[in-house]
Structure 1
Amino acid sequence: MARHVADSCPGVLRLHEAADGPLARIRVPGGRLGPMQWQVLAEAARDLGDGNIELTARGNVQLRRVHDAEALTERLAGAGLLPSRTHERVRNIVASPLSGRIGGLTDVHTLVPELDAGLLAAPRLADLPGRMLFSLDDGRGDVSGLGADIGVHAVATDDFALLLAGGDSGVRITAADAVDVMLAAAHGFLELRGDDPGRWRLRDLEHGAERLADLLGLAPGPDRLEFAAGRDIPIGWLEQDDGLVALGAGVHLGSLPARTAEFLAAIERTVFVTPWRGLVVTDMEEWAAEQVVRVLAPMGLIFDADSPWLLVSACAGRPGCAKSHTDVRADAAEAITAGRVLPPTDRAEWETGHIEPKPAPRQGVPDVPLLAPADVSVAGRQHWSGCDRRCGRPRGTVTDVVATDGGYRVE
């Protein structure tokens, strides 16, 4: 894809001027946040933002309507959430949330701090676009379908498939070499991109994956793994391999109130932000997990895997986005509470999490009827968008509910 400008992905030091005010995006490598960090985020959202913490599709978090950028920077730096002023936007690392606790071939969370430290230690890697994504999958296939630019997928306890531009490159590497190879690939991307700031992702380079593997001197083998965007996301009561309990929780349209975040901090456990805009609270005794559900379910966290809230995602919409035709989040929430978000028609597909790719959505098709918000009723996975850009649309099979200046179009 040919562009002519550098990516404008926001961070903490470079805010995005949204229609409702400045937006800060905070990178959370591997989605891991400790109790003190949750408390700092909660206080920052309440004191400096709109009172909510938004969860992103890369396991990061963001604050809207930031009115004191300097104060936010100081608070986040003190909590270890801004370890570098030069590299803050390039720390996009997703990892299998349950790795090391439930299933998987190996614990990829041990690689997250090593990869993050390697990114921070290389001055040249500060030039990576803010849209570049790294993934670490423990073999269960939950994050390898997210289309990362550079990733590894466990094929055995000590062996990984190297993923480039969202696909299996055919290259196999050892666990001991995984981080070094990923960092070398990041350097290689910058070399292949050259002086063109409009190449934001590896897939933007013609034959980028093949050229990068060749540049690294890595010979692909004959085997290729196939990855699909799955829906087997962690929700509810999850028994860890060590006998403790984790809880997977959904969050209404990915927006977490500061007060709820303070309760998460009070649990005094590691809580992971997942790439599905949810949470995993880890390492609890059964009695403690029961108490967490009793307290946080009434506050809006979703522990029921059949909840219709888990079927719906939405862009920012109004008032956050000037391009949006309407407040899609309010319309989507009303559809859910009114019972107009229906169960999937193919239950087996939903339960297995194996979803076949869907052709690119049609844009501006004249024969699709326009519906008033109260007339929109859709079954299964759906994404509500305020315009044809469809920002935040998840990968895989999704019904698009797209706002126009005359109503919603369902595709």
Structure 2
Amino acid sequence: MPSPRRVSVDACPGALRLHAAADGPLARVRLPGGRLTGTQVRVLRELADEWGDGHVELTSRGNVQLRALTGVSVDRLAGRLADAGLLPSPTHELVRNIAASPLPGGALDVAPLVGALDRALCADPLLAGLPGRFLFALDSGRGDVAFPADVAAYPLSGAVAILFAGVDAGLRVPAGRVVPALLAAAHAFLSERETQRIQDPSRSHRAPGSGDATVAAGIGGAWRVRELVDGPGRLAARTAAALGVPLAEPVALDQPGIVAPVGLVTQPDGLVSVGAVVPLGRWSAVQMKVLERAAVLVVTPWRGVVVPGLAPEAAPGWQHALAGVGLEAEQGSRWAGVTTCAGLPGCAKSLADVRADATRAVRAAAPGGTGPAAGRACLPVHWVGCARGCGSPAGPHVRVEATGRDYEVRSPAGSGRACGDGVADLVATARRS
């Protein structure tokens, strides 16, 4: 789907570099693997209540954002986050982008690798130079986080494949060398980016799959692996040489359909996880007060939340508690798969209050239906207030874009018209409401 020309400066917001949104400064707090504690949720709630708009936003990478942070200095905010363990490295806070499969189990145990990768990343001074959009992923084998990532660990046939931009270029390592391999791949990216920038400093090339976006390679270099010429092949060769391993025969990989965890999910160890949809990816203060009671939580890349490691007898109580504060913890929720950008009034570039319009459309859907707003038998639906498409899901999805007068609904090629037509009907209903 087309997007406007990209600027050359990487201006990803963080906890120390706030974004000047229309409703006030915005801070993005990285949560490697989406993992945080109930105590940290309480700190985020207090910060949102004291200095922000009272809500915490979930992002498509499993991070969180605080909006409308008026009347607070960056130093005070950073101090509170650091005290809560949410800002362990000021030098690397923008590059701690680590996605991980949210549910326990699978062919690769990702939970211990998340912390190991985060610590090793922060301990490497050179990797502070990664772009703020560069994404690591630790995939348990479900295929839920590997494919959108720049470099990912993905278990295959008794070894772990290191994928580049979702492509297998033949790099294999044992499970015990996953973290060193990912770090070596990140170094390879920085080296290859610089090589390509020097070889042709005047070139701007079109990034595959980026619509109308172009990459100012001569100014700042590529931000993502897919923006490099032959990125997967060249990075695999560089990384293999650094690790001293040969490349294997690549295999073609198909990204499986993603099913966000909702409801009660039995773990391999007999414990239970409870997953819930967070409507439009915003936690309210009331919802956070319930989540504070959890020892550990996982924010998912689909703007949901998982409470893992529960005793079977305790899990139904958690499911009931989440549902009681408006977190959708049952399969078939009308909110499943429905996301939006900030829209008006939070973003000055937006042409509509997309959250309000999406909310009306979801509520207009028949309960238990199979349309796109119900999140069943259809692709995810993302509402955006302008052509930039902020917060769009990584995979195929239906895009509902504000035009200034109405909304334009676009479905991916080959997905059929049912998804797009269904959303169009809901958009019309919302506008009439």
TM-score tier after normalising by the smaller chain length = 0.7 to 0.9
Question: Is it true that 1:185 corresponds to 2:192 in the alignment?
Answer: no
- Percent of paired sites with the same residue: 48
Residue type of the partner of 1:258? A
Q: Which of 33, 40, 44 pairs up with 1:41?
A: 44
Q: Which of 128, 131, 134 pairs up with 2:130?
A: 128
CA distance in 2, matches of 1:123, 1:14: 19
2:16 maps to: 13
Q: Is the contact between residue 28 and residue 63 of structure 2 (CA under 8 Å) also seen in structure 1?
A: yes
User: CA distance change for structure 1 residues 310 and 128 in 2, over 3 Å: closer, same or farther?
Assistant: same
1:286 positional shift: 3.0
Q: Is the contact between residue 272 and residue 315 of structure 2 (CA under 8 Å) also seen in structure 1?
A: yes
Q: Is the contact between residue 60 and residue 392 of structure 2 (CA under 8 Å) also seen in structure 1?
A: no
Map 1:4-403 to 2 at 5 A.
Answer: 5-67=8-70, 68=72, 69-100=74-105, 104-145=106-147, 147-156=148-157, 159-194=159-194, 196-216=219-239, 217=241, 219-228=246-255, 230-267=257-294, 269-339=295-365, 343-344=370-371, 381-403=380-402
CA distance in 1, matches of 2:329, 2:290: 16
CA distance in 2, matches of 1:340, 1:330: 18
User: CA distance change for structure 1 residues 229 and 315 in 2, over 3 Å: closer, same or farther?
Assistant: farther
CA distance in 2, matches of 1:6, 1:184: 25
Q: Is the contact between residue 149 and residue 164 of structure 2 (CA under 8 Å) also seen in structure 1?
A: yes
1:137 positional shift: 0.6
1:99 positional shift: 2.9
Residue type of the partner of 1:293? Q
Q: Is the contact between residue 325 and residue 386 of structure 1 (CA under 8 Å) also seen in structure 2?
A: yes
Match of 2:313, SS state, is helix
CA distance in 2, matches of 1:383, 1:229: 20
1:292 positional shift: 1.8
1:143 positional shift: 1.2
1:206 positional shift: 0.9
1:219 positional shift: 4.0
Q: Is the contact between residue 322 and residue 329 of structure 2 (CA under 8 Å) also seen in structure 1?
A: no
Residue type of the partner of 2:275? G
Residue type of the partner of 2:119? A
| Runs of 5+ unmatched residues, structure 2 | 198-218, 411-433
User: CA distance change for structure 1 residues 105 and 397 in 2, over 3 Å: closer, same or farther?
Assistant: same
Q: Is the contact between residue 2 and residue 198 of structure 1 (CA under 8 Å) also seen in structure 2?
A: no
Farther off after superposition, 323-332 or 104-113:
104-113
Q: Is the contact between residue 134 and residue 151 of structure 1 (CA under 8 Å) also seen in structure 2?
A: yes
CA distance in 2, matches of 1:32, 1:325: 34
Residue type of the partner of 2:162? L
Farther off after superposition, 89-98 or 198-207:
198-207
CA distance in 2, matches of 1:229, 1:317: 30
Match of 1:410, SS state, is strand
Match of 1:113, SS state, is helix
CA distance in 1, matches of 2:184, 2:397: 35
CA distance in 2, matches of 1:9, 1:229: 29
Q: Is the contact between residue 237 and residue 247 of structure 2 (CA under 8 Å) also seen in structure 1?
A: no
1:242 positional shift: 2.1
CA distance in 1, matches of 2:271, 2:7: 51
1:220 positional shift: 3.1
CA distance in 2, matches of 1:258, 1:126: 34
Residue type of the partner of 1:132? F
User: CA distance change for structure 1 residues 95 and 225 in 2, over 3 Å: closer, same or farther?
Assistant: farther
CA distance in 1, matches of 2:330, 2:319: 11
CA distance in 2, matches of 1:230, 1:47: 40
Residue type of the partner of 2:402? A
Q: Is the contact between residue 379 and residue 396 of structure 2 (CA under 8 Å) also seen in structure 1?
A: no
1:130 positional shift: 0.5
CA distance in 2, matches of 1:390, 1:319: 16
Q: Is the contact between residue 6 and residue 129 of structure 1 (CA under 8 Å) also seen in structure 2?
A: no
Match of 2:39, SS state, is helix
| Runs of 5+ unmatched residues, structure 1 | 352-378
The one-character-per-residue Cα deviations of 1:284-338 (angstroms, maximum 9, x if unpaired) are 2233222222222121101122111013111111111111101001100011112
Q: Is the contact between residue 30 and residue 93 of structure 1 (CA under 8 Å) also seen in structure 2?
A: yes
* TM-score (normalizing by structure 1): 0.86
1:381 positional shift: 2.9
Q: Is the contact between residue 23 and residue 345 of structure 2 (CA under 8 Å) also seen in structure 1?
A: yes
Residue type of the partner of 2:247? P
CA distance in 2, matches of 1:406, 1:344: 24
Residue type of the partner of 1:382? V
Residue type of the partner of 1:202? V
2:420 maps to: none
The one-character-per-residue Cα deviations of 1:248-295 (angstroms, maximum 9, x if unpaired) are 11100111112211211123x211011111111012223322222222
